[in-house]
Amino acid sequence: MSDTVLALRDLSFRWPGRAGFALTVPELTVARGEAVLLLGESGSGKSTLLSLICGTIMPDRGIVRIADEDVTRLSGGARDRFRAEQIGVIFQQFNLLPFGSVIDNILLPLRFAPRRRGRVAKPPDEAARLCAALGLPPELGRARAGTLSVGQQQRVAVARALIGQPPLIIADEPTSALDANSQSAFLDLLFAQLSASDTSLLMVSHDPRLGERFDRVLRIEDIARIDRVAA
């Protein structure tokens, strides 16, 4: 198995329309177990890049290789299955099922990823373990996700991304709603779990103060080119 979990090569994508833009990424790699912070302002192309990595949009050309598989060569259904198996995503707005319990939300990815589920001997026990490791009290396991605080929802979202040990975690501005102390505590918990499972992290943010916590810090303007295009 390769020591590189994510590799982008000669990637190019253009959004259509009057407000469209073209994104070009000559090269980006993330090693196994590495934590990379990608910095960029709003509108700099960070979300587009994450969508290309996750396979929810397809590049016009180039390679997106994750865990030795070129995602651009997969059909739409195969990309969805691959994403469920190989990528844990922490969304900026968390995207929890508000009426589902904490445990049900954490277990949700395993319903769509049989190989990922196969790494977990007892899924409810593993969900409870992740809750405890992330500082969530046991009694919250049956609570509806919509009743939790922002900080608690954030930790549930992290547990959902981590369960089944996908090789790559993608995090889209997960600390943007937190103050400095809460950010630090959150990152302590996240990095402890990443280290335990040798999982790679690519996190995007506009906050350079987070950089000291990561193995590597990149600015999107250093790895990508954005060209505004007319319709």
Domain boundaries, the chain: 32-58+74-219
CA 184, CA 189: separation in Å to the nearest integer? 9
The class of domain 32-58+74-219 in CATH terms is: alpha beta
CA 53 centroid distance within chain: 10
More confident residue, 47 or 170: 170
Instruction: For residue range 136-162, list pLDDT tens digits in order.
Output: 998 999 999 999 998 899 889 999 999
More confident residue, 20 or 105: 105
Once rounded to an integer, what is the mean pLDDT over residues 69-80? Answer: 94
Residues contacting residue 17 through CB under 8 Å, at least 6 positions apart: 231
Instruction: For residue range 83-142, list pLDDT tens digits in order.
Output: 999 999 998 888 999 999 999 999 999 999 999 999 999 999 999 999 998 889 989 999
Share of the chain above pLDDT 70, in %: 97
| Polymer length in residues for the chain | 231
pTM: 0.91
Location of structure tokens 């968390």: 94
